[in-house]
């Protein structure tokens, strides 16, 4: 497990509500629903709760020569699609999602404090090792990685419980330049940033800021989602994990840059 880079910003009380680390690989065509029962037998002590969800579509960051939206991949399906299976810890804070072409580990805040990226990455590595061994034993094939992504989902409580639209300039330092005359009524913010390797695009950072209401207590919040997704340098697991490490660094530095010094004090930014 890598150590936390010393130059990354850090907080005592970060507003992180969920961290998602995921890898995508070539579809395991031989994986069938009965295999999930054998897999859960191995994982039941760690993940006692299991359920089925609709599968996620393949997700690739593409970079067409003509400026526009990323390409959309359509896949023909014959028969019933294989589900996305959720394996959850008893308290729901740890979730492993598996489908034919994807393995994802989510850390979700319950009563537990955020354990930091290195902890979540370690759980993902354990899941990958166990699933890879299972796939080999069952003759399902090798995991050939083609994309990796990391997401941080932050739920930010507002100063004095005010309107999330009016408080944006106090939470986001990058928003202050948009403060205009009149009373702001509604807003959302989305942006994408392209990253290159040897002058060739390979990844994007997606940023979304959305005023919202927290279901648990009905309080107004600002939801700040940041996702870094791209193609590893090769199709190995090590390359996929290395890309997650790069994405984590990009997200943490970007979060620190776009949020205000006042909120850094609230979150206990370490010097």
CATH of the domain at 86: 3.30.310
Q: Say if residue 156 is in the same domain as residue 139.
A: no
Q: Say if residue 126 is in the same domain as residue 198.
A: no
Mean pLDDT for the chain overall: 88
pLDDT above 80 (res 2) = no
Last residue of a domain, one of 126, 143, 160: 143
| Bridge partner list, 152 | 19, 226
Look at 29-43, 119-133, 154-168, 211-225 and tell me which has the smallest mean pLDDT: 154-168
Higher pLDDT, 172 or 70: 172
pLDDT band at 70 (very low <50, low <70, confident <90, very high): very low
Which DSSP symbol is given to 176?
G
215, part of any domain: yes
75, part of any domain: no
247, part of any domain: yes
pLDDT of residue 32: 94
pLDDT of residue 170: 80
Distance CA 180, CA 94 (A): 43
Q: What is the mean pLDDT of residues 51-80?
A: 69
9, part of any domain: no
Q: Say if residue 97 is in the same domain as residue 191.
A: no
pLDDT above 70 (res 252) = yes
pLDDT of residue 15: 95
Distances (CA, A) of 261 to 121, 170, 239: 28, 9, 35
Q: What is the mean pLDDT of residues 180-195?
A: 79
Q: Say if residue 190 is in the same domain as residue 271.
A: yes
The number of distinct structural domains making up the chain is 2
Q: What is the mean pLDDT of residues 94-101?
A: 97
CA nearest neighbour of 144 among 24, 22, 21: 24
Q: Which structure tokens are listed for 267?
A: 């979150």
Q: Say if residue 139 is in the same domain as residue 165.
A: no
Q: Which structure tokens are listed for 211?
A: 């005023």
Distance CA 133, CA 184 (A): 55
Distance CA 126, CA 44 (A): 14
Higher pLDDT, 215 or 109: 109
pLDDT band at 271 (very low <50, low <70, confident <90, very high): confident
pLDDT above 50 (res 247) = yes
Helix or strand (DSSP H, E) at 124: helix 117-137
Q: What is the mean pLDDT of residues 112-133?
A: 95
Please tell me the pTM assigned to this model.
0.90
Q: What is the mean pLDDT of residues 27-47?
A: 94
Q: Say if residue 161 is in the same domain as residue 216.
A: yes
Residue range of the domain that includes 126: 15-61+81-143
pLDDT above 70 (res 256) = yes
Calculate what percentage of the chain has a pLDDT beyond 70. Answer: 86
pLDDT band at 106 (very low <50, low <70, confident <90, very high): very high
pLDDT band at 159 (very low <50, low <70, confident <90, very high): low
Q: What is the mean pLDDT of residues 75-103?
A: 86
pLDDT of residue 257: 93
Q: Say if residue 182 is in the same domain as residue 262.
A: yes
pLDDT band at 184 (very low <50, low <70, confident <90, very high): low
8, part of any domain: no
pLDDT of residue 65: 57
74, part of any domain: no
2, part of any domain: no
């Amino acid at each position: 497990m890598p150590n936390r880079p010393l130059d990354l910003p850090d907080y005592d009380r970060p507003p992180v509500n969920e961290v998602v680390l995921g890898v995508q690989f070539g579809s395991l065509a031989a994986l069938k629903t009965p295999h999930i029962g054998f897999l859960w037998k191995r994982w039941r002590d760690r993940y006692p709760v299991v359920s089925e969800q609709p599968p996620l579509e393949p997700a690739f960051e593409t970079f067409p020569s003509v400026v526009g939206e990323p390409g959309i991949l359509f896949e023909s399906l014959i028969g019933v699609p294989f589900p996305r299976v959720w394996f959850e810890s008893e308290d729901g804070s740890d979730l492993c999602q598996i489908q034919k072409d994807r393995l994802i580990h989510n850390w979700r805040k319950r009563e537990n404090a955020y354990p930091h990226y290195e902890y979540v990455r370690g759980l993902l590595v354990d899941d990958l090792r166990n699933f890879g061994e299972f796939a080999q034993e069952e003759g399902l094939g090798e995991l050939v990685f083609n994309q990796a992504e990391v997401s941080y989902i932050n739920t930010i409580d507002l100063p004095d419980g005010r309107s999330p639209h009016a408080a944006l300039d106090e939470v986001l330092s990058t928003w202050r330049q948009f403060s205009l005359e009149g009373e702001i009524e509604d807003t959302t913010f989305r942006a994408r940033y392209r990253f290159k390797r040897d002058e060739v695009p390979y990844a994007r950072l997606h940023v979304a800021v959305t005023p919202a209401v927290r279901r648990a207590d009905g309080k107004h919040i600002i939801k700040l989602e940041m996702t870094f997704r791209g193609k590893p340098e090769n199709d190995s697991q090590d390359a996929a994990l290395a890309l997650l490490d790069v994405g984590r660094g990009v997200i943490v530095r970007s979060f620190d840059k776009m949020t205000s010094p006042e909120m850094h004090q609230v979150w206990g930014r370490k010097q």
